[in-house]
Amino acid sequence: MIQVNNLTKRYDGVLAVDRISFTIAQGEIVGYLGPNGAGKSTTVKMLTGVLRPTEGSILIDGIDLLKAPIEVKRRIGYVPETGGVYESLTAYEYLQLVGRLYHIPEELLEHRIEEFLKMFGLEGVMHERLSSYSKGMKQKVLISAALLHNPKVLFLDEPLTGLDAHSALLLKELIRRLAAEGKTIFYCSHILDVVERTCTRVIILHQGRIVADGSVEQLKELTRQGTLEDIFKQLTYSANIEELAQAFARSIVEMSA
């Protein structure tokens, strides 16, 4: 469903993402972890067509993102780390605008808008301007907007930002259900315990390079650590990134032998 090969991004000579490659299958929930500045958000922006990579290729649902960006964007949903909304619109109007951009039939669109706003407890304020909404309420609207067109692939960059405990639990359960229906979830976060409980696979990025990729149980076995937090500390506090990446590659080969 997602195929990434030698993906690279440089900013004014600074290497933010360094030749990363991975494949994600349909129905997987992949947690994408890394310290601040590791290249997580840059990766997500490239995978969603917001940023053009310096090098490398991206296929989403078999379609080349660089050659057919509109076709890919029809198939994906994206909740950015710092998303904005048109604050002069109401939540209903904003979602209506998003749905029409995706050419969702009006009757179906109305049903989906009401369904999502009710699910997130916003039905009573759906006709109030977004300028009056709290950060968490706006986040609920952004999540709803990402799901309106029933995307095959969902990219989430710190999606729990601003959400109350109940809404966070709701979103985690929704993610599991979407994956069970065959949706692919790319979950970028720094909240390790949420990733450990929610994701079927974890990719850890450090200084723009992938230093680990596997299920939590596989990574525990490889690193001899008991929790994802301990794994994360071991893999990202190392000063020698080249040695770390090579050691991980050797471990994978040994496990496959």
Per-residue pLDDT in tens (0 to 9) along the chain, 257 residues: 899 999 999 998 889 999 999 999 999 999 999 888 889 989 999 999 999 999 999 999 999 999 999 999 999 999 988 778 899 999 999 999 999 999 999 999 999 999 999 999 999 999 999 999 999 999 999 999 999 999 999 999 988 888 888 888 999 999 999 999 999 999 998 888 888 889 999 999 998 999 989 988 888 887 777 778 888 888 787 545 566 666 666 666 666 55
- Residue in the structure block whose two tokens are 């930002």: 161
What's this model's pTM, rounded to 2 decimal places?
0.86
User: Both tokens of residue 97?
Assistant: 């605008």
Domain spans of the chain, in order of start: 2-85+148-255
Instruction: Specify the CATH class of 2-85+148-255 in words.
Output: alpha beta
For the chain, the maximum distance between any two Cα atoms, rounded to a whole number of angstroms, is: 60
Amino acid making up residue 236: T
Q: What is the pLDDT of residue 189?
A: 86
Would you list the DSSP string of 91-103? HHHHHHHHHHHTT
